[in-house]
């Protein structure tokens, strides 16, 4: 039961501060982008379709992937808007986006955005947390069995 609880979690997330100038790289983002129907995709050379993936630079210089599983939060004064985006259009002055869980588009003046936060699942932290949980379970089982106690009842 404990093992199931440890391994059924969503994982560990990490937040990255993204400078507002990096938001321009999200222009044309489309989480549902696929090559056009009926068109043969060339095996060599660039394919021009809206991309379901982008790479942003965090404030500390790290390259951070952005995709449909990413949460993007825009900090504007006392307001915080965002979530997981389906589509984004970014001009030098405006960000238009559609969130995955909302039908109404989000319109935001970029001049009002102080910074953005990108939240992603961190596979390294998730793996470390899972391994720590597995080691903890193994230690409990080893201790219980070495003292002649059952795993469920120890007196």
Please provide residue 136's backbone torsions phi and psi, each rounded to the nearest 5 degrees: -60, -45
Instruction: Using CB atoms within 10 Å of the CB of residue 81, give its burial: 0 to 12 exposed, 13 to 18 middle, 19+ buried.
Output: middle
Cβ neighbours, 10 Å, residue 3: 13
- Going residue by residue through the chain, which has 155 residues, state the pLDDT in tens, using 9 for 90 and above: 334 344 445 668 789 999 999 999 999 999 987 755 655 555 555 544 456 889 999 999 999 999 999 999 999 988 899 999 999 999 999 999 999 988 889 999 999 999 999 999 865 544 555 555 555 555 555 555 555 554 444 44
Angle, alpha carbons 73-71-103 (nearest 5°): 85
> Can you give the pTM of this predicted structure?
0.65
For the chain, the structural domain boundaries read 2-33+47-146
For residues 105 and 18, give the distance between their C-alpha atoms in angstroms, rounded to a whole number: 22
Q: What is the pLDDT of residue 4?
A: 38
The DSSP result for 86-97, as a single string, is EEEEE-SSEEEE
For residues 84 and 86, give the distance between their C-alpha atoms in angstroms, rounded to a whole number: 7
Q: What is the pLDDT of residue 154?
A: 44
């Amino acid at each position: 039961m404990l093992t199931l609880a440890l391994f059924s979690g969503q994982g560990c997330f990490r937040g990255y501060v993204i400078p507002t100038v990096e938001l321009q790289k999200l222009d044309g983002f489309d989480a549902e982008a696929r090559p056009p129907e009926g068109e043969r995709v060339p095996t060599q050379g660039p394919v021009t379709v809206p991309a379901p993936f982008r790479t942003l630079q965090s404030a500390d210089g790290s390259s951070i992937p952005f995709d449909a599983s990413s949460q993007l939060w825009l900090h504007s004064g006392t307001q915080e808007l965002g979530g997981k985006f389906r589509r984004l259009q970014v001009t030098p002055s405006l960000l238009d986006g559609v969130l995955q869980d909302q039908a109404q588009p989000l319109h935001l003046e970029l001049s009002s955005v102080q910074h953005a936060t990108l939240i992603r699942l961190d596979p390294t932290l998730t793996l470390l947390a899972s391994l720590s949980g597995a080691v903890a379970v193994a230690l409990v089982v080893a201790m219980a069995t070495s003292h002649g106690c059952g795993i469920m009842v120890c007196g």
